[in-house]
Amino acid sequence: MYYSHFGLKEPPFKITPNTEVFYTGGNRGAVLQALIYAINSGEGIIKVVGEVGSGKTMLCRMLQTMLPDKIESIYLANPSVAPEDILHAIAFELQLKLPKNADRLKVMQVLQAHLLARHAAGKQVVIFVEEAQGMPLATLEEIRLLSNLETKHDKLLQIVLFGQPELDDNLNQTNIRQLRERITHSFNLSPLKQQEIGEYLIFRLRAAGYFGPHLFNNAAIAKIADSALGLVRRVNILADKSLLAAYADNQYLVTPKHVKAAILDSEFGQEQVKVSLKKSRWWWIAALPLIGLGIGLAANRIDFFHALVKPQTIFKQAAPQAQFAAAVEAVESDLPAIAGTPVAEVADLPPLQEGPAVNQANLVESPAIALPATVDAMPVTITPMTSANGLTTEANKAIENTLPLILAQRLNATSAWLLSQPTTTVSIQLLGAASEAQIELEIERLSREIELDNIYVYRTKVNNLPFLTVLYGNYANRIEGTQALQKLPAQIQKNRPHLRTIAGVLQETK
């Protein structure tokens, strides 16, 4: 609904995990790289803990896309599996053929034979267990027994447990200590800080096609951070509703007023308001005796003050303010007459009626204000007009005469490039705009810092209007793409570039 209002080409804050917009800030990128290393090392059980909505599922999906081809992954989304059924569930995910009415021992034999065959073929198998905190302890113990499957040198099966903080409570129980001892790597997804939330918001907006200034002011970001408690899912919900509120208000900047409306429209926000009201009500009840005591002391102090200070003294304190206001009014009324008068003559003007508060001669002759002989003689410096890219108007005109050739060249090169690349190829989206002239200038600017031959431009539509997107480079996988993204010049990284797949780009150009 609000996409065209803010110049967006797609929803920026969908809560469905989308690996195209994985945010590496808030330590998420570091945890992802550490998980890839831990899985590649093939040792023990790995645990990832985070609150509801902290991004565990997104991390799991990213792992599935970034692990090398030699690692096969299966995904157990339902934690409520009985101990006697867990082996069947894993065999089903691995698409193993089991004898009819196969018992636990037979399933284990088939599973071990399959894992040995994959190991002989140079493959690893990893199981991702979601919502592991809801898994019965006996089932967790059954999974622990699977970690015993190994060769002389390697484990046959890797296990990664994703769960909420309750998972730690379960693993701390005595009867599950054997599983706890098998955990070799443990990671925690901490809540995003306020600064990271601001960066996350603009990152998601950029990924959705927005390239203007930040749509959320600092006060709005602070309010979102306070209500969302640093949880990514809550940030997405509040950001989406805040943009909708700003759109309904016909505004182009999200303010605390819009965030407040979003909070009141969300389930967790309503609960927070109820808790806040309850706390304030108890605070007022507890504070009533102190408030009464304070009022009594204040009344006594006012009486004592009036006994010591005469009323005219109070009015004398305010006199300089009145004199200053009168002086300003007088100066403003004399401005036309003073405009062409030499400084020496201005200094000789009669003092203002309210004189003692303002010494006009001192104001004019102050060393901090070095005026020329007359106001008319003040030097004027004319600076050539510059545009947003920092170049002068003349320079931009010179560039515009040659850039259409560059844009046409990159559009043609991109068409051939898209057809020649596998759909899994990864590129880096740098920016986008509806204006061809703006894209031409941006390409010229980018070519000063990165190779022009690796800059690609393709056309698409946003809200049925023409739109151009600029990409950079092509990489075999996300790991290489991430490494290249991190090496981009700081000036380019200010636009929050992010990874794209050729499959996603082709889908856009249909």
pLDDT tens by residue, 361-383 = 444 443 443 434 443 333 433 33
3-state secondary structure of 474: strand
User: Is-contact 464 478, C-beta < 8 A?
Assistant: no
User: Is-contact 247 6, C-beta < 8 A?
Assistant: yes
Question: Averaged over 146-154, what is the pLDDT?
Answer: 82
Q: What's the pLDDT score for residue 270?
A: 65
Give the residue with greater pLDDT, 35 vs 82.
35
pLDDT tops 60 at residue 326: no
The 10s digit of each residue's pLDDT in 265-293 is 888 766 665 555 455 555 545 555 655 55
Q: What's the pLDDT score for residue 278?
A: 56
Q: What span, in angstroms and rounded, lies between the C-alpha atoms of 433 and 263? A: 32
User: Is-contact 500 428, C-beta < 8 A?
Assistant: yes
* Partners of 150 in the β-ladder: 155
The 10s digit of each residue's pLDDT in 164-204 is 999 999 898 888 888 888 898 999 999 999 999 999 999 99
Beta carbons within 10 angstroms of residue 48's beta carbon: 23
| Mean confidence (pLDDT) of the chain | 77
The 10s digit of each residue's pLDDT in 96-119 is 888 888 888 888 889 999 999 999
Long-range contacts of 367-372 (CB under 8 A, 24+ apart): 371/343
Task: Set out the domains of the chain in order of their start, with CATH numbers.
Answer: 27-189 (3.40.50.300), 194-265 (1.10.8.60), 311-377 (no CATH), 393-509 (3.30.70.1070)
Q: How far is CA 204 from the centre of its chain?
A: 6
* For the chain, the helix, strand and coil percentages under 3-state DSSP, each to the nearest 5: 55, 15, 30
Q: What's the pLDDT score for residue 331?
A: 39
Q: What span, in angstroms and rounded, lies between the C-alpha atoms of 269 and 108? A: 48
Parallel, antiparallel, or unpaired for β 124-129 and 45-50?
unpaired
Q: What's the pLDDT score for residue 362?
A: 42
Give the residue with greater pLDDT, 490 vs 302.
490
Q: What's the pLDDT score for residue 314?
A: 36
- List CB contacts of 312: < 8 A, sequence separation 6 or more: none
Q: What's the pLDDT score for residue 100?
A: 81
pLDDT tops 90 at residue 223: yes
The 10s digit of each residue's pLDDT in 2-47 is 888 888 888 999 998 888 899 999 999 999 999 999 998 877 799 9
Alpha-carbon torsion (503, 505, 507, 510), positive or negative:
negative
Q: What span, in angstroms and rounded, lies between the C-alpha atoms of 480 and 498? A: 13
Residue 235: pLDDT band (50, 70, 90) is very high
Six-digit token string for 355: 């004189």
Alpha-carbon torsion (126, 132, 135, 140), positive or negative:
positive
pLDDT tops 90 at residue 493: no
Q: What span, in angstroms and rounded, lies between the C-alpha atoms of 217 and 31? A: 29
